[in-house]
A = this chain, B = another copy of it.
Amino acid sequence: MEKDENFSEWFDRVLREAEIVDDRYPVKGFVVYRGWGYEIARRIASILEELLEEDGHQPVLFPTVIPEDAFRREAEHIAGFSGEVFWITHAGERRLERRLILRPTSETAIYPLFKLWIRSHADLPLKIHQTCTVYRYETKATRPLYRGREFLWNEAHTAHVDFEDAERQVKKGVEIYSKVFDKLCLSYLILRRPEFDKFAGAVYSIAFDTWNPDGKVNQIGTVHHLGENFARAFDVTYEDPTGRQRYASTTCYGLGISRTIAAVIAHHGDDHGLVLPPVIAPKQVVIVPIPMKGYEEAVAEYAVEVEGVLSEGGLRVILDDDPKRRPGEKFYKWEMFGIPVRVEIGPKEVEGRTLTLVRRDTLERCETPLDGAVEAIRVLFKEIEENLRERSWSRLRSEIGEASNLEELRRLMEERRIVRVNWCGSDECAERMKEEVAGEIRGMRWDEEETPTGPCIACGGEALYVVYVSRAY
């Protein structure tokens, strides 16, 4: 099964064989998270939740439904989302007086409560977050984890005394998301989206885009400064220290858990299947006994002893001692599931009281004494993480090309690269790139200043920005 030859087929097979999601649910665009996949989702969510809560975000859970009138309050927001919401019109035998939508994102659910919770400057900043599913009636082709009509994410919403404080929170949000992706060993570009592609209702939007083997970038997180737009629409005001009523400044940010799982699979996986960073692996170590005639009992006993030692040491361990399957079959299975380290135990290991370790990312083997094995495996985890991170970043660097005219851009887009170009900032030139070479302007670097060194690639006029162009999910 070759990942690079046919990514799409490889990806579907990994989803199925590693029990990530099942896409045979009988409603288009809705998938079932299976045991292994959902455990990974929970671990990603936990890493993020812990960082958000350290930064003072309270966990909340808002209703899944939003009444039509609240949804219609912010003009740009409704314009951006109304084409893709699911409508609940009836309940039991009755027609509802007020129609409800399934949340596509929760601003319009949350702001009516922000209005109640926020009275004075002492109530600010207010920061909340929730891990939940959201619903968008995608008309483009759906694809499990990348684009579904229901997806799993975490969304945070914050309110502040002024624009500047909200902007500090935007930076904090970017920092938190960077930390999450770093822990997952993922590479990414942090881009400020062009005006025409910002979140519906935002002052500006920042996004985390990452490469995908099929050349369509994957947006895994976004952070938005909403200015006073939503506060005005929902009348969210506070009394400042001088007694004056002022509008709050707000932000929101979302990290796509479904899409982040897709990125983990796509970046780290190989022809043997999934490769998981130890931090999110449901099981970090699999022990496979390799019995030989005359040593069956000794190997089995030692395997149980090893399992005890590693579990005691705080590792998530599974001992696969199923007598009906051969070691080779077990290797195949657990490589597919992406368990970071395999421990092989045969007569030689029993005798020397050692373990043979096989790391999943490189399939390299080494031996270590049982005494000190937990520490050795933890060191190996670090090496695996460093290797995965380095591979992912170096691939991102190699995906990025440069073009100084449309012909070069067309060629690089055909190679499915991410391309750096100079842009004048006009919608017309953006439109032209999209129509003539199928490239979308994803935005300009947010974390680093890049200055154009030549004219706009499309019109030849003065370039104001260096932007990244690619196909996208």
Check: A214 CB closer than 8 A to any chain B CB: no
Give the one of A33, A87, A91 with max B CB within 10 A: A91
Rounded to whole angstroms, the CA-CA distance of A58 and B117 in the bound complex is 38
Contact with A86, one of B32, B88, B98, B133 (Cβ below 8 angstroms): B88
On whether the beta carbons of B82 and A92 are closer than 8 Å, the reply is yes
Given the known inter-chain contacts A91-B137, A92-B139, A137-B91, please indicate yes or no for A35 contacting B60, CB distance below 8 A.
yes
Q: Is A100 close to B, CB under 8 A?
A: yes
* Copies of this chain assembled into the complex: 2
Residue of B nearest to A117 (CB): B22
Number of chain A residues whose Cβ lies closer than 8 Å to a Cβ of chain B: 53
Q: Is A116 an interface residue (CB 8 A)?
A: yes
Interface of A is mostly: mixed
Closest residue of chain B to A116, judged by CB? B24
B interface footprint on A69-98 (CB within 8 Å = 1, 0 otherwise): 010000000000011111111111100001
Interface string of A40-75 (1 = CB under 8 A from B): 011000000000000000111111111100100000
Contact, CB under 8 Å: B24 / A38: no
A431 at the interface (CB under 8 A from B): no
- B59 and A38: CB pair below 8 A? yes
Shortest Cβ distance from residue A316 to the other chain B in the assembled complex, whole angstroms: 12
Question: Is A196 in the interface zone, CB < 8 Å from B?
Answer: no
Residues on the B chain within 8 Å of A91, using CB: 84-87, 137
A82 and B92 alpha carbons, distance in the complex (Å): 6
Whether the pair B32, A64 counts as a contact (CB closer than 8 A) is: no
Report B-chain residues with C-beta under 8 Å of the C-beta of A88.
86-89, 102
Within 8 A of B (CB), among A324-359: none
A70 touches B26 (CB 8 A): yes
Known: A92-B85, A137-B91, A137-B92. A63 touches B113 (CB 8 A): no
B26 close to A112 (CB less than 8 A): yes
Closest to A49 in B: B42
Q: Which chain B residue shows the least CB distance to A38? A: B59
Query: Which residues of B have CB within 8 Å of A58?
Result: 34-35, 38
Of the candidates B27, B38, B41, B66, which one forms a contact with A65 in the assembled complex, judged by CB atoms under 8 Å apart?
A: B27
| Contact among B32, B63, B85 with A60 in the assembled complex (CB-CB below 8 Å) | B32
Whether A112 contacts B60 by the Cβ 8 Å rule is no
Determine the chain B residues whose CB is within 8 A of the CB of A42 once the complex forms. Answer: 59
Residues in A132-157 with C-beta less than 8 Å from chain B: 133, 135, 137, 139, 150, 152
Query: Is A64 within 8 A of B133, CB to CB?
Result: yes
Pair A89/B92 contact, Cβ less than 8 Å? no
A31 at interface, CB cutoff 8 A? yes
Q: Which residues of B contact A35 (CB under 8 A)?
A: 58-60, 128
User: Counting CB contacts under 8 A, is A39 at the interface?
Assistant: yes
Please give me the residue from chain B that is nearest to A29 by CB atom.
B63
* Residues of the B chain whose Cβ atoms lie less than 8 Å from the Cβ of A26: 67, 70, 112
Complex alpha-carbon distance, A220 and B90, angstroms: 28
Question: Could you say which residues of chain B place their CB within 8 Å of the CB of A85?
Answer: 91-92
Interface residues of chain A, those whose CB is within 8 Å of chain B, are 22, 24-27, 30-35, 38-39, 41-42, 58-67, 70, 82-93, 98, 100, 102, 109, 112-113, 116-117, 128, 133, 135, 137, 139, 150, 152
A-B contact pairs, 8 of them (CB 8 A): A24-B113, A26-B112, A27-B67, A35-B58, A65-B150, A87-B90, A88-B89, A89-B89
